[in-house]
Amino acid sequence: MTNPTLRATGLTKLRGGKRVLDNVDLTLEQGSVTAILGPSGAGKSTLLRAIAGLEDLESGTIESDTQILTNGGALVLPEHRNIGMVFQDFSLFPHLSVIDNVLFGLRRGSNEERRSRALAMLEQVHLAGRANDYPHMLSGGEQQRIALARALAPAPDMILLDEAFSGLDGKLRAELRDTALAAIAAQGAAALMVTHDAEEAMYMADTLALMIDGQIVQSGAPAELYLNPVSASAARLLGEINEWDGPIENGKLQTPFGPIPATASGLSQGMALVRPEGIDISLNPAGEYRAQDVHALGANLAIRVEAPDSTIWLTKITIESAVKAGDRLQVTLNPHFCTIAV
């Protein structure tokens, strides 16, 4: 494991009596992208701004590998933290040209060197041709790329992205994610992004942290979080989930769609969490289950299935399956997609 670029421990921030950040721990590593996913108002942006030094904290420590940045109040001013940041509204300086925006943070070296560095950064985001334009002449996607180039130009140890893609639409967004990942990888910086878009977080992150009400409720690799959520609310952040409360008997929790083995022992009660992809269904005229409705959803069919006791769960199977509304079905649970939370 490489040295952490940044380690935050016990960050706590109060605003109007509410804990916007509640004892948050976070570690960022060089060359790795960490994403924080949470509903709006969870404290994601506050966490990002605290790391940037734009927000004071009630308590907690933020340290880089060389120095302590924050110990309660901000010790190291934002301009001395060597952090890059891409804002949701891009915050390009409207009175400066594109190249001057990128040059703004480049203060070392001769004019020649600074200029060639800035042009190289623009090259990296495929906008070298727009160097002398002004921000208002660019499209939203182009402004976003300039903001990225400006943030990366001073070769920061770490780059922070605050809902950096949420102002843009579908296809453009997907392209920009790859541009951003490539540019960040080329710099070798640690990246921290916050978003409320689950797909974006999973796509970009090496490590994903789920944040609810000022707390990080779970963190790890995206696939791990998707398959083994610690709670129903954590599970819901990443996609649809079927929930079932029940007693655990003989190491199993019985649901209307079948038993789920409990991994931890000693629990008497639990909540079964089953992803829609974890329910395999097949047509069977004698089956006890019934397809209530069927909708196409990208490469999948989303099917609501009714169990004998009238419980309805959502399932997803690949789109070529010939299931229609009203069909009788039989179901089996795929244990990889099932978990039991307390």
Partner 1 sequence: MAITQRLSPAAERRDRSGWSFDPKIAGIAGALICALPVMALVPMAIAGGGGHFSHLFETVLGTYTFNSILLVAAAMAGTTLLAVPTAWLTARYEFAGRRLAMVLLPLPLAMPSYVAAYAWMSMSVAGGPLNAATGGLFPSISGVAGASFVFSLCFYPYVFLLARQAFASEGSHSFEAARILGAGPFRAFWKVALPIARPAIMAGLALVAMETLADYGTVDFLGSPTFTVGIIRAWISFGDPEAAARMALILVILTLAFFGFERWIRRRRSIAQAGGRHRPNPRVQLSGGRGAVALLFCLIPVTLGLFAPVAHLLQLTLETPRQASPWAAVGGTLTVASLSALLAIVIGVGAAYAARSGGTLARISVRIAHAGYAVPGAVAALGVIAILGAAQSLIGGISWAASVTISGGGLLALLFAYQARFAAAAIGPCESAFQRITHSMDQAARSLGASRFEVIRRVHLPLASSGMITAAALVFIEVMKELPATMILRPLDFETLAISAHHFASDERLAQAALPSLILVGLGIPVMLLIGWLSEREQT
Question: Which residues of this protein are in contact with partner 1, per CB under 8 A?
Answer: 15, 52-56, 77-85, 87-95, 104-105, 107, 134-136, 138, 140, 143, 150-151, 154, 167
**Four-point Cα dihedral 201, 203, 208, 210, nearest 10:** 30
Nearer to partner 1, 10 or 105 (CB): 105
- How many angstroms separate the CA atoms of 225 and 71, rounded? 31
Please state the closest distance from residue 41 (CB atom) to partner 1, in A.
Answer: 13
- How many angstroms separate the CA atoms of 26 and 311, rounded? 40
Please state the closest distance from residue 225 (CB atom) to partner 1, in A.
Answer: 28
Report the alpha-carbon angle 154-159-165, nearest 5: 115
Please state the closest distance from residue 166 (CB atom) to partner 1, in A.
Answer: 10
- Cα–Cα distances (Å) from 188 to 32, 123, 132, 262, in that order, read 8, 17, 28, 41
Report the alpha-carbon angle 189-191-197, nearest 5: 155
Q: Are 4 and 29 in contact (CB under 8 A)?
A: yes
- How many angstroms separate the CA atoms of 69 and 8, rounded? 10
Nearer to partner 1, 40 or 110 (CB): 40
Nearer to partner 1, 2 or 67 (CB): 67
Nearer to partner 1, 81 or 275 (CB): 81
Taking alpha carbons only, the member of 206, 210, 227 closest to residue 219 is 210
Please state the closest distance from residue 203 (CB atom) to partner 1, in A.
Answer: 23
Please state the closest distance from residue 257 (CB atom) to partner 1, in A.
Answer: 43
Nearer to partner 1, 53 or 270 (CB): 53
